[in-house]
Amino acid sequence: MQARTTVVKLLADLKTKEAGPIKSAFEMAATQQSQDSASKAAGGDLGFRSREELTQAWGAALADAAFGLKSSSEIGQVVETDKGFHLVKFQSRQVG
């Protein structure tokens, strides 16, 4: 329960910072707090992934959250999977 509370507070903080002058707050937070060694060094950037790739790696809930985002720089709600809690930020789409 404490982990969820922490990530909900982080989400609110990130949205406030990115609405203001700190547009890279998400990337800085991912570099400092992510437990995913593969994306941590890249500021949380997963690269271009298909829905199927996201589902296989992190589960359907994360894939649905990622593909539900529509606006560039939009940060979604907290996503819980069997691997923990995740925040997702939309950067761009690439035609398949």
Q: Which domain holds residue 53?
A: 2-86
- Whether 77 is in a domain gets the answer yes
Mean pLDDT of the chain: 94
Q: How many CB atoms lie within 10 A of CB 83?
A: 12
Q: What is the CATH number of the domain that holds 28?
A: 3.10.50.40
CB 80 within 8 A of CB 61: yes
- Whether 91 is in a domain gets the answer no
- Whether 92 is in a domain gets the answer no
Q: Number of folded domains in the chain? A: 1
What whole-number percentage of the chain has pLDDT above 70? 100
For residue 1, pLDDT over 90 is answered with no
Considering the entire predicted model, what is its pTM? 0.86
Dihedral sign of CA atoms 55, 2, 68, 17 in order: negative
